[in-house]
Each structure stands twice: as structure tokens, then as C-alpha cells.
Amino acid sequence: MIKVFIIDDRADYRSMLAHHVTTRWADAAVKDYDPGTAGRLPESFSGAGNNLLLLGHVGQETSALDWMRQFSSTPKFPPVIFFGDGDESEIVAAIKAGADNYISWASLSHERLIKVIEQTLEEHREPDGSGAHGLSGGDMTQAGLPSLKRYDLRARLAERDVSSVYLTREHGTDRNLVVKVLRQMPGSGGDTAFDRFLQEYELIAAVDHPNVVRMHDLGVADDHAYIAMEFCSQGSLKRRIVAGLSIEEAWQYLRDMAAALGALHEQGICHRDLKPTNVMFRKDGSLALIDFGLAKQAHFKAEITGTGEIFGTPYYMSPEQGHGGEVDERGDIYSLGVIFFEMLTGRKPFDGSSAMAVIINHRQKPIPRLPEDLARYQPFIDRMMAKNPDERFQSIGEVLEWTPVEATVTRLPVVRTD
């Protein structure tokens, strides 16, 4: 069951947000708080017991940004979605203050709010699955899911447009597996999604590499297709970036990701959606690339929907993919460069007030400079993130051959990211 805490001094806004949440999650536990009558929450407020906090207007006497700074300084505080007027300076300030996401009141819709909530919950689930939302233990059929007799449901990990992801325990082996279930089947209007779903399994099952997630099963049950894959219990790379990485750790993670991409590229596969939340860690500390729903044979065109949505994540997307051009393995190399920059600095190289603004900045803005103490890695970043694919490293082999002039183990700063 998802538990949401809403803060806003306007009763109609609190009611509206609560309605959106309970429409999507009927069993959600929603609490609201009116700072106009109850005043500021005390410093001792930890957010404990909540999966998510929605922070809106807190009145004229105080600033929501001040509240956000208080929350972000509290250990283990739940993720916060910040609501505001959409002013660019406020968006930047909210993220810097520790907000996990930002929604302007003008752009608020049911679809947008639910999508942002689902993304935020997915990114902040606990490594053991205890932070997963909406479901807990039991038979899958009792939860209205397909009858997968080999698996016992433990928790929902993510909910997407056409698929859901669950943590399960496999009968016989007693091991935890992640099961991705597709809700649309051929003939139901979801043929394209179904094709991508099958492709994800077929492409990655053919790759045997220690840094690529292991696929275990593909099947159909009760008109649902499903994929079973290994469960990486130690969370995502995003969490480690937020906690702070040493240069040595960042360099090793880069090489592990590059080796995994090399194995994919040898099979003619591009990942297409490389980002920190798609890099997970196993119990033994090893790294694995996951989520190949956008993976495709090399030399594809970026796909744009009828509503203008570009598949992929703008923060990590190459200029050619963001603008619908021809993309090959060098697009993955660009994304790897973006992640390496973020691992070194704790911040993304390009930001913007909208997805399209980020895409334009990747195309037009110069590659940002690393701090002086990291300058030896600048030529490496420049080659990976060159605007023109012909000026990048042309293969993962070239990436792995590059070495810095010197290596120093320095603790990088702890930085909260959006």
C-alpha cells in the first residue's frame, strides 16, 4: 500500500492531489497537512511511515524551499515531489534543495502526476524490495495478476504504461526473481509493445556477460506475456552517485558498464536507454545493465510517437537520438560519457526546464568542464560526448583502451540529484 503525505495550505489543492492518488491506487493511505493553520512542521519531523511527500504552497510567512532544505537534511527522509509555478529559477532551486522531482501547477494532469509518482517510487525503492509499492506478498492471482504458478508475489517494484514489474520468489529454487508482466497482447492494440517485449528477452538472452542482467524465463499466462530475470538486490547506480563515489569507484563502474556495452555491441545490439537507474548492483557488489525495452539492432532511427514523445531519457540521450537521426553504438558511448561525468561531479552535464530544452542543450551547448582536480579526465569526456558521432570513440574497444595520465583516489562530494 502506498502512503502519501500532502502539504499545502489550500484545501482544494490538497483534495485534488489526494483524488489523483486514490484514483490510481484505491488502497492508498493519504494524509494531508495544512501549514496555514498548523504552522511549520518541527525539525524532528522525519517523514517516517510515508513512501512519498507532495510539497506545495506553505503560506506567505515561510518558503517551501526552506521546508525542502529541512527535509533533505533529515536522514532517510522519503522522496519529495515539489509543486510550484514553473519558474526556471524555482525549478533549479527546488532540485538543488533536494527535491526528487518538480511539477508546475500549470502542467499538472492526472497522467503527468501518476507518471512522476511512479518514476519517483521506482527510483527510491529499497534494495530488498521493502520500499516497493501497492502490493505485498501472496499468490499472484489473488492480486489480479496472471497465474504464474512457479512464482510467489512479494512486491510490486514498478508500474509502467503497458507493463508492470514484480519481485517474486521462484518455487523449487527459493530464489528471488524479477518478473516483468506485459498487460497487452497481440490483437489487443498492443502489438508494438508486445514485439518490443519479446525482443527484449530474445536479444539479451543471447548475451552472456557478467555485467548484463541474466534472463531466466519467457512465457505467456492468462493472456499476459512475462519475462523472469535475476533480482539485483543492492539498488541502482543513482543511489551511489547521490551517496558520493570515489574516483576509483567511478572509473571501475565506467569500465564495467563499457564491458557490458561491448558484449551487446558485438551482438549488434544498442541499449538506447543507458542511465544510472538502469545500472543495478547484485548482492556480491557486481554491476549489471538492465531494462532493454528500448534495445534494438544497431543502425536504427530514434522513434518518435504521434504526440512528439521521444523514446529514451533526455538527460542521457545523444544529440542524434534526441533529434530523431540515425543512431548506432556511438549513441551508447555518448550516454556512457554523460554518466561518467555525473559520477565524477554529482551533477548532470546538461539540464533544462523541459525535456525538449535538455535535448536542445545536448545538441547546442558546449561540453561542460570538469573541476581542476579532475581535469585529466576531460579529454576522455570530450571524446565520448562529442556532438558529432564521427568525433567520438568509434567503439567500446577504444573506450577501454583509454587510460588517465594519473589516478588518485579522492572522495567525491555527496550531491542530491533529481
**Those residues with Cβ within 8 angstroms of residue 18's Cβ, 6 or more apart along the chain or in another chain:** 4, 6, 30, 32
Cβ burial, residue 217 (10 Å; 0-12/13-18/19+): middle
For helices 88-97 and 64-72, angle between their N-to-C axes, nearest 10 degrees: 30
CA angle 117, 120, 122 (to 5 degrees): 105
Residue 223 annotated as catalytic: no
Provide the sign of the torsion angle of the four alpha carbons 298, 337, 395, 389, taken in this order.
positive
Which of 8, 273, 332, 418 does the annotation list as catalytic?
A: 273
Distance CA 217, CA 3 (A): 33
Helix or strand holding residue 171 (H, E):
none
C-alpha distances in angstroms, 7 versus 277, 359, 402?
A: 28, 32, 50
* Nearest partner of 224 among 118, 146, 135, judged by Cα: 146
Q: 335-360 in b/e burial notation, b at 16+ Cβ within 10 A?
A: bbbbbbbbbbbbbbbbbbeebeebbb
Catalytic residue list: 273
